[in-house]
Structure 1
């Protein structure tokens, strides 16, 4: 038995029973989504660990009191940001209590009065708030940029006396959030997604691209704290009051705007808002030729620097004007290619993406990101059975990208994917690690790295990487679906079902937006099968087959769905159509590790398929 001084955090969902009564499956899926996208990454960042989950909550331990309180505030703000996109009756608010005390540790669990105090503080906390003990308050009050409100002396459950409690201001609507300006930054800002005013939803790729580039430019300024792209984009399409958004994100300023592109003209309006007063700090309307788009972006970034009176290092003013290309049309085609690539991994969208990247290269041959984009498309197309593409061709494309820009994270991720496709997993790992070091929020690096680990049987690490990918791209269903497969292989069945439910929720949203998305339908069929919805499984499988009758991914995913349902002959029919001597090593090994196919492994026809793969 071990005793140690540590920080214990207890959290639960307020009104959980009501949410479950209204929608049990949806509530469980939403809770798992928050666990994956918000809680786990923040726990890791703070150096904490989850001791145990408790139905609607969890108990966590932190070695650092400062990190525990920072985690709690960041978690509440991220959770509230997510609530902004949900109907009021589906919003989920947490209560958090934290205590610094001596506890007993046995077999990774924690016991003692110190734990009880944390759980009792959580019980009296308001929804969306963080309550801390007096001992913890004394430890952190001078070390954190938060306000601490005296919550009074509380009668906690099963205690004889009164316990002093403190509320961390900014963790709920009871106080103003942390407005970052310290920690080496002169100011803080969130760039909200610019609104597409063209009247054509297909032009979203352009307004999103403009937003992302402005975020990238401003992030190069050391004096300015910039909220990440993925956090900012959770507010896309919302109409929440700006002062509430600023408070939840913990920033002083917000940049919002709109984009309208008509023929060879582009019109952008931008306004910088003081999140404390809702007042306009700066606003401008730009009406330029499209060929001047980069100059326009530079003007916006410099205007913000001037409006906030930021002190820039000598090289920063030059750095924010550096572009991957200065050809506006090449840039436009690149954004289109990226949009198609992320729509789905069917041959149709991959070929469209490849065409757009190639158009960009026709205009700008040294566009490194476009070379990396083609390498990614070719890797997926080869993965999907397109025999017109060779592994050497993919290596050449990714190496060309790195020759142009050795520090392009996307190019390192691209090369890692090419190495994975060839079954060279250790070399691939080095490239994925390098990509993440260069760009810690690059979705592709985590997603492809997760697949690489899965093929090596490293299911625990793969699950973590897929979880991080799911956090970075909130509409991606594949990462959560693959994470559920990892949990299945690890025997963690509750987590498997939770991940599958969260993945299905994202898949259903994708199908609702694009009913002809065969990739989502086929992938979703496997999730439905795993969750016991056999009728919907068959319906989605049939729809996917009609839309993309010759697609490898579609056949493989439907085979998995039929296998889960126990319809072995139908599953084997699909596998026999796509598996053979020319199948890539990465796909062969993925199949060997895929727990969805376990029911087939003793079947003679499956043995024949394996024999063909080995020939």
Structure 2
């Protein structure tokens, strides 16, 4: 355990309680499941013996990955983190303890590991290389304290779900169930171009804020600050840096100050193709340096994942589904889901089912399966609504059991609660999602939706505008949310203006446009939108339309009903 003395000095009782919780819920069960035996505890450490080095490495990877997820929303000064060392060698059993060089070397190798990392000896590496879904970096021969000969040491490289990398096609383990290959991204220290040493703090702080906020996104694997800051002030080849860090994508930027103005540039690079996926420039007046730092960091982390997904969608279009990894299947399913069409929903279900077949313990995939099935349930595209709803809740319960810190899980639970008109539960999950990832545009815009259903249109409009500002490349449906919020506020012209930003309308959006024009007295326009509603859904009537609304106040539902009746629906 790293920083044990510091944590104990700051909060002895709380540290022991948190460590005990991690032991009971995570560490001891993982060791037991992998046929390990805890020989002894040393306050800040564990000595564990395994029958198989593969079991030892597998258990270590799982513990470190899950501890990283557990720590994602814990302040840095309160995190319980570990280093792991693994060795294969002869040991002496005596009075329930084990001794010998094998144990001593494992202890020394552990000290070479970085925080949250795993180091192992060549003896271990030779046994597991190619047998496990992990890749390793050769650190060379290392002199170890009180060990006469140097020992070759390897570290487990970040890559898949924190550590393991998927084996290449044709290698041992390929084709078997594998951990999720998330897109890996490293944020290099922003360069201070102003010549002002004071701005060095700002540049470093901005880099750290971006790293922290990106780490909240469960669909990304973010390389740690410790690794990326090695390249501070260095002119290095991007591809070489990416290879050393184990990152596919790099974020780099610069900060320049002149008088009371600040200019920040940022770009996202795909190192596999040397393509600049996205670049942006931010010019701000330096009234409050910390407020500017927060604003820029929020804007960057809200935009980056969407730009990264857009780049990957181009690749997916050229990839056969049978060749897609679990993450790619989830990404393809999301794209189909956002089209909000019945046939696309069916295809999205197929893609998300494939993702879970590849990795049954992929929490993010379970969450999105719940979301995709929830869309079909909400639109009435299913025969047995009760059975499908039970499936939705099963998927979300499974996702939250696997990863309670995934903002998407709580966002989707909030959406389901809204559809069930349970606004108290919706607000709980919405607040939790927002706390986990305050810069996630889908969470922020859904907060605006929630306020709209509650009849608080001004707050709804404010949150939706905030989401749009966070992600200037937001989906067009954000304009639909804004239009509905303005309609609740009886601002019909603004509602129409918002809807008109959309390229196409579904029956529900035509309905709000019809009601808005009707309240403004434009019978020609309102009748035209009613006609389009009927063309899009021959079975739609007023009762069915209103049944899809979730207003908490009866007057808001009545207001929509009267507008539609004025339009002739």
TM value normalised by structure 2: 0.43
Indicate the structure whose relative CO is greater, using CA pairs within 8 Å and at least 6 residues apart.
Answer: 1
